Structure 1
Amino acid sequence: MAVDLSYDPEVLDLIERTRTFVNDVCLPLENEHQGDAQAAGGDALRLDLNKQAKAAGIFAPHAPKEYGGLGLGMSDRSPIFTAAGRSTFGPLALHLGAPDEGNVHMLAAIADPEQKAKYLAPLAAGDIRSAFAMTEPAPGAGADPNALRTAATKAEGGWKINGKKRFITGADGAGMFIIMARTSGEPGDRGGATMFLAPGDTPGITVDRYVHTCDRGMIGGHCEVTFTDVFVPDADVLGEVDEGYRYAQVRLGPARMTHVMRWMGIAQRAHDIALDYVTDRQGFGGRLGDLGMIQQMIADNEIDLAATEALLARACYELDQGEHASNSTSMAKTFGAEAFSRVLDRSIQMCGGLGVSDDLPLARLANELRPFRIYDGPSEVHRWAIAKRAVSRTRKAHEKGIRNV
């Protein structure tokens, strides 16, 4: 049976309308403000772009229909997220950027009806922003989530949370937090974490400072946040106590793939800019695009983009089938993050001096992309996990007497 990679007419129409909106509305604003969303207006900018996206019928393609979204699955949302991602302001406008997109996905899957009314409804509508608070300063949780040190202790009617977090995207001004805290065991123990929901103005939540990074496309910064005796009622425990890591997988796999989708848009844009340049630029007796070394860079860009798209399609298919897709999402995330950096670097090289100037957006887009090799798990951690699964699979085969010859 043939594999069908086509899209329904409704999805194709949505892709086209998203492309038009991004070209007409988002790209001019992004270029005017050098991609700095905070400098462009922060939340005021977001709310205005959200309003325009709603009017265009392209707002929140991932969110459930009953909460104002378009209810698309992973495979159908992929080309739309990519179209939005051509501008660093596109995900902001369509309300499909991190961390809000991943939090909407997780709340829709895990939250109980009361939690959905309290947290999911305003988040899906874009009335508030959110933050996912898991990463901590050393020696706390980072790439190794088992190092979690933020602790939640039982109190009358709920829990009290104490700890410090770092690199919490969107924390400044967030209307709600999803907080990962240890409810059993010790730092280094496997498991024992629980997720808690808390309004942004809950007493004891303090945004200490922005941790300035090379990317500028987000609102609310990547922040250090302190939780001091933050009280969360039992009703706002997300999922079951001590099962936070298991529930987080509902978010992490899809969120890695939506990162790939969005940054695919940036990489394709960079490649298109370089193609425009080398097709017209004259040098060495002809067009740069006719030179062998330039053609090799063009071809390598095309291959990296196509290979990432294929890995992404496989991972999205598995996720849509209800599978964990741990291996396929790790592969797509690792390859895509590194491939996109290669695409940006080649595109800059093809454009020469303009590539590293503010006359083109390539250098700042490279800065937006570079953190992707770290965010949502460093490439090295994903490689370690992929290798562990391969060795485990082979060991189990050996135990059954199956060996490769």
Structure 2
Amino acid sequence: MSYSAYSPERSGISDRALALADQVEAFVRETVVPYEKDSRRDDHGPLEELVVEMRAKAKAAGLITPHIPGGTGHLTQRETAAVLIRSGLSPLGPVALNTTAPDEGNMFLLGRVASPELKERFLKPMVAGDARSAFFMTEPADENGAGSDPSMMLTTCVQDGNHWVINGRKTLITGANGAKVGIVMAKSEEGACMFLVDLPNPAIKIERVLDTIDSSMPGGHSVIHIDNLRVPADQMLGQSGEGFKYAQVRLAPARLSHCMRWLGGCIRAHEIAVDYACRRKAFGKLLIEHEGVGFMLAENLLDLKQAELMTYWCADILDSGADGGTESSMAKVAVSEALMRVADRCVQVMGGQGVSRDTIVETIFREIRAFRIYDGPTEVHKWSLSRKLRREYLKAHQA
């Protein structure tokens, strides 16, 4: 079944972008899906050999980093949604097409704020699909470092002549193992700072790769020790103390692209569950003819459509030029929670098959469970939204 069967929001999307989205869908279904059974993976994600092989095929098809056509300039967020939803029809799709996290968000950030020299050195190989990246922000909870509250950052940076010296520990750093580009956040006397670094670097040591519930991102999620990392001053993004400002540039689009990719994954899981329910018989009739099953699949349609509409709505907000912080929080909560319900129902409908890795449904369920936490847990976003309501109320009643 084609994604177009779900009637995506097509207004405001160019014919070129829609054609590209169709090409991406065909590539994922025909070329990437067979790799889901490939043994070249470990407990943390696909191995580099597999990543390189899939990306070579994407390059040959002219589809590497499709949301940045020709390596310059992004599609609009609405057009990006059309493409990234299709890329997510397999958990390996974003990896093969170079639309995965954290690379997609990092490319967006560097495209917006990096100097021409830094773009040539760091961004160009990323867009070409030749270099993976990592974003070093989150810190260990047992040290009371930065997590959902980045203001708690403990990693320090001190200027030493024309270099900055960085020390600290980071955790849950996606893709650090095998990355060639790093974006490191640290705190100076002026506030948060953001640096670009070449990887690997002997001053950035991987203590261990965490065993996590998800396993689709190359390199997994690492605990990192940064010991006297020296970075040239011209590799700082912006000025000392501007790190949070630049993080905000990345934040809303990165949240939304998670929604896009995993919406595609849950559309695929739903397709598999429907196929199973329409073929499997129990108690004298097809599963889908039992209301308990048929209603779950009907509820999936409702959640998928609501997630799709929320995603395109937030994309439109970003395309309007707004920072979209509030809207991306709303979308992240609504979409991640809706997709969790979808993935859970798909597992339930399929019973023993649903918890087996014989189908991709089990993998998608685990990935969506992690999505409810990554880029801000649901509860943090709700807390932030409730604070906004209070601020607006006080402002209105003080006028």
Q: Give the alignment's TM-score, normalised by structure 1.
A: 0.92
After superposing the two structures, state which structure 1 stretch, 12-21 or 31-40, moved more: 31-40
Partners of 1:247 and 1:64 lie apart in 2 by 24
One-letter identity of the residue aligned with 2:29: N
Q: 1:359 to 1:201 in 2, by over 3 A?
A: closer
Q: 1:396 to 1:35 in 2, by over 3 A?
A: farther
What does 1:323-362 align with in structure 2 at a 5 Å threshold?
323-362=322-361
One-letter identity of the residue aligned with 1:166: T
One-letter identity of the residue aligned with 1:140: G
Residue pair 1:61, 1:70 contacting (<8 A) in 2 also: no
The corresponding residue for 2:107 is 104
Deviation at 1:37, TM superposition (A): 8.6
Residue pair 1:206, 1:226 contacting (<8 A) in 2 also: yes
Where has structure 1 moved over 3 Å in runs of 4 or more?
32-40
Cα-to-partner distance string for 1:326-359 (whole Å, 9 max, x where unaligned): 1110011111111111111111111122112233
After superposing the two structures, state which structure 1 stretch, 4-13 or 231-240, moved more: 4-13
Alignment pair present for 1:313 and 2:290: no
RMSD of aligned alpha carbons = 1.8
Residue pair 1:36, 1:217 contacting (<8 A) in 2 also: no
The corresponding residue for 2:181 is 176
Partners of 2:315 and 2:341 lie apart in 1 by 23
The corresponding residue for 1:167 is 172
Partners of 1:48 and 1:324 lie apart in 2 by 37
Deviation at 1:35, TM superposition (A): 7.3
3-state secondary structure, aligned to 1:351: helix
Alignment pair present for 1:148 and 2:153: yes
Partners of 2:357 and 2:163 lie apart in 1 by 52
3-state secondary structure, aligned to 2:179: coil
One-letter identity of the residue aligned with 2:95: L
One-letter identity of the residue aligned with 2:27: F
Partners of 2:45 and 2:152 lie apart in 1 by 35
What does 1:290-301 align with in structure 2 at a 5 Å threshold?
290-301=289-300
Flag structure 1 segments of 5+ consecutive residues without an equivalent: 186-191, 401-405
Deviation at 1:38, TM superposition (A): 6.4
Partners of 2:37 and 2:302 lie apart in 1 by 28
The corresponding residue for 1:18 is 24
The corresponding residue for 2:229 is 230
The corresponding residue for 2:77 is 74
One-letter identity of the residue aligned with 1:23: R
Residue pair 2:43, 2:211 contacting (<8 A) in 1 also: no
Residue pair 1:62, 1:101 contacting (<8 A) in 2 also: no
**Count of residues in Structure 1 that have an aligned counterpart in Structure 2:** 389
Deviation at 1:19, TM superposition (A): 1.2
Partners of 1:157 and 1:380 lie apart in 2 by 42
Cα-to-partner distance string for 1:260-290 (whole Å, 9 max, x where unaligned): 1110111111111111111222223322212
Partners of 2:177 and 2:360 lie apart in 1 by 27
The corresponding residue for 1:122 is 125
Q: 1:228 to 1:201 in 2, by over 3 A?
A: same
Deviation at 1:6, TM superposition (A): 5.2
Alignment pair present for 1:271 and 2:270: yes
One-letter identity of the residue aligned with 2:229: V
Partners of 1:156 and 1:224 lie apart in 2 by 29
Cα-to-partner distance string for 1:219-242 (whole Å, 9 max, x where unaligned): 112001111111111100012210
Partners of 2:249 and 2:45 lie apart in 1 by 33
Of all paired residues, the percent bearing the same amino acid is 40
Flag structure 2 segments of 5+ consecutive residues without an equivalent: 1-8
Q: Give the alignment's TM-score, normalised by structure 2.
A: 0.93
